[in-house]
Structures are given as C-alpha cells and as structure tokens.
C-alpha cells in the first residue's frame, strides 16, 4: 500500500510540477569550506579549508564543487556534519552553516586527472542580512 501512495504522489508531482524544491540558479561563485567542531562551533583546526565553487544556489541551499571529499581524517559528508562555508558574492563574503545532503564524484578533465566532488548542502544558519543579500543577488540573475 505505501508503494501505491508513493507512485500516486510521483504521478501528481509529474503532472502539476515538482514544487518540493526551491528554484536554484546556476552561477559560479567562490566558496571556502571548513568543518565545524561540534563541541566549540569553530572550524576544526586539524582539517584545514577547501577551496571550490558553486554549481547552483537557492535561498535554501546550494551545490558546490571541491577537489576532495576528505579534509584530513574527516569526511565532508559525515553524519551530523556541519560545514562552515564562506560564500563570495560579487560585493561581499558571507558565512553560512550548511549540512551536506548528498555528494557525487565528478569526472573533470582539467589536465591533472584528479577527482572532484559535487556536494549538495542545505543552509542551516545564516544571518538575516546575509540571507536578504543572497535573495537580492539571486533575483538579479537571469532565469534559465
């Protein structure tokens, strides 16, 4: 019976459009990613920082690309992981807290044959002024 309900819900979403997700805008912005120490709330000291870029972003979350899935001995997508992401908009840098929801290894042809990873993350904490700036920035982007 639960499968029948899921099937029906999927067909309704297909017919009316899937409105479960915020519309993401495809834009490439620089990001710096650190892992939050769950005890102190500060970045983990022995993990370092990864540099990457966004693939797409919405007011609720984003997908970003980084060159590694691990920082030291810590996985970016571990259970109960909080990422501290510095997002560089054209006029300001903002700090957001996010939880990773998925990741995927990418085959990138950039000459060094290294793997890159696409990570999807949901924003869990952002100050109100930064959220307003992000929404304003996203509204100015062309729709695809």
Side-chain-side CA neighbours of residue 113 (13 Å) = 0
Q: Which residue has the tokens 């797409």?
A: 56
Q: Where are the domains of the chain?
A: 22-140
Top-tier CATH class for 22-140: mainly beta
pLDDT tens per residue across span 1-31: 556 666 666 666 666 555 545 678 899 999 9
Mention every residue, 6+ apart, whose C-beta is less than 8 A from residue 8: none
Which residue has 């990864």 as its token pair?
Answer: 50
Could you read off the pLDDT of 33-85 as tens digits, one per residue? 999 998 898 998 888 899 999 999 999 999 999 999 998 888 998 888 999 99
**Residue 79: its pLDDT value, please?**
86
């Amino acid at each position: 019976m639960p499968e029948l309900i899921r099937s029906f819900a999927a067909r309704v979403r297909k017919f009316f459009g899937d409105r479960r997700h915020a519309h993401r805008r495809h834009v490439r912005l620089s990001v710096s990613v650190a892992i939050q120490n769950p005890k102190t709330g500060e970045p983990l000291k022995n993990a370092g920082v990864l540099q990457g870029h966004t693939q797409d972003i919405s007011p609720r979350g984003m997908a970003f690309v980084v060159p590694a899935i691990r920082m030291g001995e810590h996985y970016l997508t571990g259970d109960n992981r909080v990422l501290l992401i510095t997002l560089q908009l054209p006029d300001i840098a903002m700090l957001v807290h996010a939880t990773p929801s998925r990741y995927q290894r990418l085959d990138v042809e950039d000459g060094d044959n290294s793997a890159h990873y696409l990570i999807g993350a949901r924003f869990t904490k952002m100050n109100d002024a930064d959220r307003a700036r992000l929404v304003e920035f996203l509204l100015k982007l062309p729709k695809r």
